[in-house]
Structure 1
């Protein structure tokens, strides 16, 4: 989708939006968590992935999946578990809205609530998996070679395949810049890896985070995952993460991703702009890339640093629909 009014407003050549709101579960996460869950079950029982979903292929007792989530990854893993016919537990932190909790429960998963932040829930899920023998389906890991996280990011890479097909079919000139939001960095890593060598010059990829949860920026600066301080409180609740994923960080550093953060006011404004001018109903998490583009384009110093000009063609990702009861 082209956001022509937005391009005019920020003084660049074109703004393209990859809109993920119409995915079966309402976000891009359905591409990663569901695929990773089914793949992990297949590995655990020693059967081909294509056999998963056949009741006769499952041992007794079946594998029990567990994951941690702000909402969307848990929903995707729950969907994968339901397809496989195995039990699933999703660990959430106490700040996850009830509407997101209910969606996960309606998908057939049991829910446990951890106190504190998303990262406290990550710790709880790891402990439960170790103590109970559950099969952990994370979208973040401190192991750069984690095979389950690799499956999650491989699922997200479907987006880059679609983008290439869509630009070819529409005969658009290729984007020069991408602004992509990050929680733990998995989506951003899949995008930068999948579009490597495809973007037009200067081929800049900007990772966007809320001011209150800049875990990828901190990790990029430190060269390793480090845990952000504070309560991570932000309206972009799907990006409210305190520690970047090592597999994602490896890719982001390899390809030279840039980082910037945005304020709560900037996030809220972009949600409103998308709804009133484009009819796209999303959240602060979904609109974060557009928020960062607006901020960067309005700042002469940032424009120069990012080589944003009146001829630039920018791609943003609208990553989720606004959940409804």
Structure 2
């Protein structure tokens, strides 16, 4: 474990690099992923999101390649979360219809006769914004209802974006994890269906479906890299809240590549580093962060790890990093102000933190030890995923235009 300028890191000394030594990732294997992607391809809005190659930045930082998967283009919703939520909703409806998801397209689920068979359903969730917007969008598309609870301090803009999708949405005076508990209670009391990406004992099936839904983006990215003739990335940086997104991507990489998967680093904000805390405790169990979590990375402001994701992150991640908000701001500014002919990427706070920390490690001063432990060098090929665009435009401008949260 180390600490450099407020950046804490832990190397996973117990990382599993022998196939079948860690928790099973079969639920994220190619057969499952193909089924998920076929469902997403049935959406009229489906297009692969761009994989942006930042070749000039790679030269500046001394590595072979840097790619950024830009999820701001996903279904016109400015974030990736809809992939998990829509697939989980689809899986739930398929089960209710006694059908396999492979037999149902999104368009079929929108059909009048299907809606009549299903009856009225209310999907319930807690969110900082992106997940709730995705659930609200899917519910509206399918002629169903959505109720969304948001934690204290959530963006009014994100709240209104959810309401604009037809959902009943409110900002509570609770932190994220308590908002999840409120959502669960509401669903129980109002015959609703909880669609939450966090898992706990007794609630793991739907979060597993959500994780499967997220695999569309990493399967696209690996295919796009192969199409460039670049093989596969050597390093991946994944941001984590409850860990479902990071666990999904890492689980996919383990299922597809096994011991030859990329070296993977999990990144969290200092104020909500529940995965980091769980690793630090070193007892193999997930541990929560309690209280208010005032980070600009609202999508990562989660205090309790998903039980399904935790097992994957515990076994297969190579390093865990906890960092200040300034690293997210740094990543946003780098992506928004590209070098040379590199494309511009509009990335929000939770989307840009991976590049923020990677760029700092690669610049050298004071961070050589981290780079050495990650085996980053001139031949490294780094994949980052910008999970959201400017979902709060006012905050985006304060950071990128006005220099809020300056780098140290």
Q: TM-score, normalised by structure 1?
A: 0.93
| 1:78 to 2:136 alignment | yes
Cα distance in 1 for residues equivalent to 2:54 and 2:370: 21
Q: In the alignment, which of 210, 218, 221 is matched to residue 160 of structure 1?
A: 218
1:23-42 correspondence runs (5 A): 23-24=74-75, 25-42=77-94
CA distance in 1, matches of 2:152, 2:317: 35
In structure 2, how many angstroms separate the alpha carbons of the residues matched to 1:152 and 1:201?
25
Count of paired positions? 325
Matching residue within 53, 56, 75 for 2:113: 56
* Among 254, 258, 265, the residue aligned to 2:319: 258
Q: 1:193-232 counterparts in 2 under 5 A?
A: 193-196=251-254, 197-198=256-257, 203-222=262-281, 223-232=284-293
CA contact (8 A) 2:128 2:154 kept: yes
| More displaced stretch, 218-227 vs 312-321 | 218-227
Aligned residue number for residue 281 of structure 1: 346
CA–CA separation in structure 2 for the residues paired with 1:45 and 1:167: 38
**How far 1:321 moved relative to its partner?**
0.9
Q: Give the superposition deviation at 1:242.
A: 0.8
Contact 2:97 2:118 in 1 (8 A): no
CA contact (8 A) 1:142 1:225 kept: no
Equivalent position of 1:303 in the other structure: 371
**CA contact 2:159–2:171 (8 Å) conserved in 1:** no
Query: Within the alignment, does 1:237 sit opposite 2:298 as a pair?
Result: yes
Superposed CA RMSD in Å reads: 2.1
Offset, 1:201 = 5.8
Offset at residue 144 of structure 1 (A): 8.1
Structure 2 residue ranges without an equivalent (≥5):
1-51, 395-408
1:290 is aligned to: 355
Unaligned runs of 5+ in 1: none
1:119 is aligned, of 166, 177, 181, to 177
Residues in 1 aligned to 2:200 and 2:222: alpha-carbon distance in whole angstroms: 31
Segment of structure 1 superposing worse, 313-322 or 126-135: 126-135
Q: Is the 8 A contact 1:183 1:241 kept in 2?
A: yes
| 1:38 counterpart SS class | helix
**CA deviation after TM superposition for structure 1 residue 317, in Å:** 0.8
1:110 is matched with: 168
Give the deviation of 1:238 after TM superposition.
1.0
Superposed CA deviations along residues 170-191 of structure 1, whole A, max 9, x for unmatched, are 1114211100111111111111
1: CA distance, partners of 2:273 / 2:112: 43
Find 2:189's aligned residue among 124, 131, 135. Answer: 131
